């Protein structure tokens, strides 16, 4: 019969005694006691070396576990997790490696956290990075949006976010009291002075970006065009057009906005700026092969112009200054948009008699058809500004 917990020691002693008898058949004894020859030899060896104590049950746990992380590594894992409660195994392992510590595998990091009773939670894991479209160089395209509103203990916070499409660098993360054009412009000026100008910016279709009036441009859009920045808008009901900024909002919510409400805008602004630095310079990014946005970003060579240079229109263009949103042309008043008040626009004749294209600097903003006695500057869409090729996520 096999050794069981009931009288196990007595059975072992009996087996050892019988096996030690002269002429004993060990194989037959093993069969009758229901044990293997390997166990039999181990019992006889231990008994010969240690006596009855050698027959005591022993833990099967190995004396050494080369696959178990050292205590100091476990402490380092827990320390990183405590600083960044939303980070999972891959990010923590990457940060340890960057700090000169040979890290365990991401799965081992996860096991360490679980062994310490640290729940991973909804955002405490790393999703596999998927293939994404991105622009080839920093500053080719910046994505801009507001992350709705966030309640504070007093008032509401409106986080303004601007993200570089190529590097995922957070250009702007501002704690705003509102979502007006004046607020956006003030934060963009700070960003332009520090990081330079992008070639293009994309926003959604809501205020304060647009659309507005016949041309679909607001004063904010006109100001961006004066800085030689192309403007694109997301397709209606297609938030994936701004997919990188939308994903940034999820991370922002999980890592920076999930705690107790901020007391005021000043506290929110300081906290968001600290997190922006961590996001750009410390946090490994899944879509960047666990590198940081800062490792892929460079400032733009295009400097912000405090006073935009005058624009040289083409010879043959008919120039008009917009007043109260209108211009005078061929004895008629034409409605353009108050966003252009005080600005000079150009009317450029086409191959079609009576049809003129309306330009503000290099941007085609509308068509003007003299053949239609009722037309008030029909709006057109500049095909080159269509956002359809912008990064799916």
User: What are the residue boundaries of the structural domains of the chain, listed by start?
Assistant: 8-55, 71-115, 142-295, 318-385
Closest of 181, 180, 163 to residue 172, by C-alpha: 163
Q: What is the pLDDT of residues 116-168, one digit of tens each?
A: 667 665 444 444 444 457 788 999 999 999 998 999 999 999 999 999 999 99
Tell me which of 349 and 14 has the higher pLDDT. Answer: 349
How do residues 214-252 score in pLDDT, each as one tens digit? 457 889 999 999 999 998 887 655 556 678 989 999 999
- Closest by CA to 365, choosing from 355, 377, 374, is 377
pLDDT at 119: 63
What DSSP character marks residue 8? H
Handedness of CA 333, 338, 341, 346 (dihedral sign): negative
The whole-number pLDDT of residue 60 equals 66
Q: Does position 193 have pLDDT exceeding 90, yes or no?
A: yes
The answer to whether the predicted template modeling score (pTM) of the entire model surpasses 0.85 is: no
Residue 94 DSSP one-character state:
H
Question: Is the model's pLDDT at 211 over the cut of 90?
Answer: no
Q: Was domain 142-295 assigned CATH 3.30.420.10?
A: yes
Mean pLDDT (the chain, rounded): 82
pLDDT at 374: 66
Q: Give percent of the chain above pLDDT 70.
A: 82
Between residues 373 and 382, the one the model is more confident about:
373
Q: Hey, what are 128's tokens?
A: 């596999």
Whole-angstrom distance, CA of residue 364 vs CA of residue 379: 10
| Residue 187 confidence (pLDDT) above 80 | yes
Please state at what angle helix 106-115 crosses helix 89-98, rounded to 10 degrees.
Answer: 110
Would the pLDDT of 63 be above 80? no
Q: How many CB atoms lie within 10 A of CB 152?
A: 16
pLDDT for the residue 217: 82
pLDDT band at 387 (very low <50, low <70, confident <90, very high): very low
| Ramachandran class of 255: left when φ > 0, alpha when ψ lies in -120 to 50, beta otherwise | alpha
Comparing 36-40, 150-154, 267-271, the range with the smallest average pLDDT is: 36-40
Per-residue pLDDT, averaged over 361-382, amounts to 71
Confidence band, pLDDT 50/70/90 cuts, at residue 261? very high
Between 274 and 59, the more confident residue is 274
Angle between helices 181-195 and 219-226 (to 10 degrees): 20
* Confidence bin at 391 (pLDDT 50/70/90): very low
Q: What are phi and psi of 181, to 5 degrees?
A: -65, -35
Helix axes 89-98, 71-83, angle to 10 degrees: 110
């Amino acid at each position: 019969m096999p050794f069981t917990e009931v009288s196990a020691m007595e059975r072992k002693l009996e087996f050892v005694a019988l096996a030690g008898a002269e002429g004993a058949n060990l194989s037959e004894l093993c069969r009758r006691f229901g044990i293997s020859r390997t166990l039999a030899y181990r019992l006889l060896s231990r008994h010969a070396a240690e006596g009855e104590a050698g027959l005591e049950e022993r833990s099967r746990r190995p004396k050494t576990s080369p696959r178990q992380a050292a205590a100091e590594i476990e402490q380092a894992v827990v320390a990183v997790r405590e600083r960044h409660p939303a980070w999972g195994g891959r990010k923590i392992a990457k940060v340890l490696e960057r700090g000169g510590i040979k890290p365990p595998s991401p799965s081992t990091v996860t096991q360490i956290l679980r062994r310490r009773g640290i729940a991973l939670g909804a955002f405490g894991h790393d999703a596999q990075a998927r293939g994404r479209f991105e622009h080839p160089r920093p500053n080719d395209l910046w994505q801009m949006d507001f992350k709705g509103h966030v309640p504070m203990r007093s008032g509401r916070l409106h986080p303004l976010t601007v993200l570089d499409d190529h590097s995922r660098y957070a250009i702007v993360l501002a704690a705003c009291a509102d979502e007006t054009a004046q607020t956006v412009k003030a934060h963009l000026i700070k960003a332009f002075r520090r990081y330079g100008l992008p070639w293009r910016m994309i926003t959604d279709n809501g205020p304060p970006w647009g659309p507005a009036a016949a041309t679909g441009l607001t004063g904010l859009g006109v100001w961006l065009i004066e800085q030689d920045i192309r403007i694109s808008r997301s397709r209606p009901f297609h938030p994936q057009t701004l997919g990188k900024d939308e994903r940034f909002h999820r991370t922002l919510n999980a890592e920076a906005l999930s705690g107790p409400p901020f007391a005021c805008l000043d506290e929110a602004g300081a906290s968001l700026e600290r997190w922006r630095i961590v996001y750009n310079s410390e946090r490994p990014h899944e879509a960047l092969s666990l590198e940081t946005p800062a490792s892929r970003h460079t400032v733009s060579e295009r400097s912000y112009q405090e006073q935009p240079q005058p624009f040289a229109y083409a010879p043959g263009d008919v120039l008009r200054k917009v007043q109260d949103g209108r211009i005078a042309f061929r004895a008629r008043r034409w409605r353009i948009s108050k966003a252009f008040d005080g600005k000079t626009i150009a009317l450029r004749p086409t191959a079609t008699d009576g049809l003129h294209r309306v330009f503000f600097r290099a941007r085609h903003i509308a068509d003007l058809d003299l053949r239609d006695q009722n037309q008030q500057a029909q709006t057109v869409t500049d095909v080159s500004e269509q956002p359809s090729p912008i990064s799916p996520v």
